[in-house]
Structure 1
Amino acid sequence: GYGYERCLYSMVRNQHCLSPMIEQEYVVDIAQLLPALEKAAENVSDDAWPVDRHIAAFIATRLEDDVEGQLMAMQNPSDEVEYSRAIISMLAVVQWRHGPDNLQNLSHWVARLMEPAVKVFHSKARRERVETEIPKLAKRGNLVELYNLINDEQERRKDQSEFVEAVAEYSEAESEVFDLESSGPARLEMAEKVGQQAAAFASTMIALLTVSALFLMHIF
């Protein structure tokens, strides 16, 4: 979204989008973009992303909203979580502004690419709930709802808080187990010392009693 494509669409306002996915649809206006992607989604490969360099630049120069944050996140494809979230966010903003309301093909396409964003949740129950909701929302063709599902800040903070608490509890339990295990030899050593001291004391007492008995026998 920051290369020569951005310059092209900024300088030539009537330039149609040259993305190989939709070039044949001759998309000049931003409102034409999602219907073209909806059509392209019918025959797309499972691992293809619905936003390439041309589409990102086209959105950046044609959409009235600021998408610089999404473009920055897309500069690092190795971060699959933020990369997928940025793409879904960008398309959701376009649908919110320009429609159409129902984009089932595109929504199912996006839904297949949401796995990295779902994995960010630590809670297994929360991940399963989100995974269950995704196909339901995809059938409704609403990209905004799909994006909100994985970008619920309250849920993410709650998930992170619960994870931190779980880690703390686990660490505390591990520490207690370690203390018990490490104190075993120490307790055994102490018991041996006490036993040795008791045995020595008993031997001394027996010796004293024996001497006393012999002394008394000698007197009487």
Structure 2
Amino acid sequence: MVNLFSVFDPSTSIMNLSLNWTSTMIGMTMIPLMFWLIPNRLMVLWNKISTTLHKEFKVLINMNSIHGSTLMLIAIFSIILFNNLLGLMPYIFTSSSHLVMTLTLALPLWLSFMIFGWINNSLHMFAHLVPQGTPPALMPFMVCIETISNIIRPATLAIRLTANMIAGHLLLTLLGNTGPSIQLSIFSLLVIVQIALLTLESAVALIQAYVFTVLSTLYSSEVL
């Protein structure tokens, strides 16, 4: 099991500095190229995706929210999606399968929502601890349950993204390692299964980036 999970360990280093995490920032050198050229199909597609996400997040967030807040959420979606898709490439470090990165995104986001909510809307935050229609006898228990569920939100955001990325990569790695030892007649079936899994992982990469961003949007709408 240790050797199985070792595929996710940072291994490339120079002078004890891990170079694997530089794959997270490769997008800074690749994505801006489209903005220096005449608008192409890729740029038009990305603009449509951004506009659709902006309209959806605008509905989820209260109308009285700070203008431009959806741009931050679209940026988070872009970072997660790019790193998820980049991790599907051979010999490229999957940074989104590590809690170090996912917690770095989830914890400051949740913490900023909590600080903003408790400072500006204290009564509103207290009201969220007791759902509407709760019997008086159950109110102390509901406050404890809602407090715990609120505290574990960044962990659930980070673990959900990490676990989903690890699960697919482990399955692809396990099937790929059986390739040299199987018969030639079964090899074609293995290739078809790997292609199907790779397609599924591409969809999971998109869905998990979307889920992370939508849940962050819903959490932010509770404090505004």
Shorter chain as denominator, the TM-score bin is under 0.3
TM-score, normalisation: structure 2: 0.26
Structure with the greater relative contact order (CA < 8 A, sep ≥ 6): 1 or 2? Answer: 2
**TM-score, scaled relative to structure 1:** 0.27
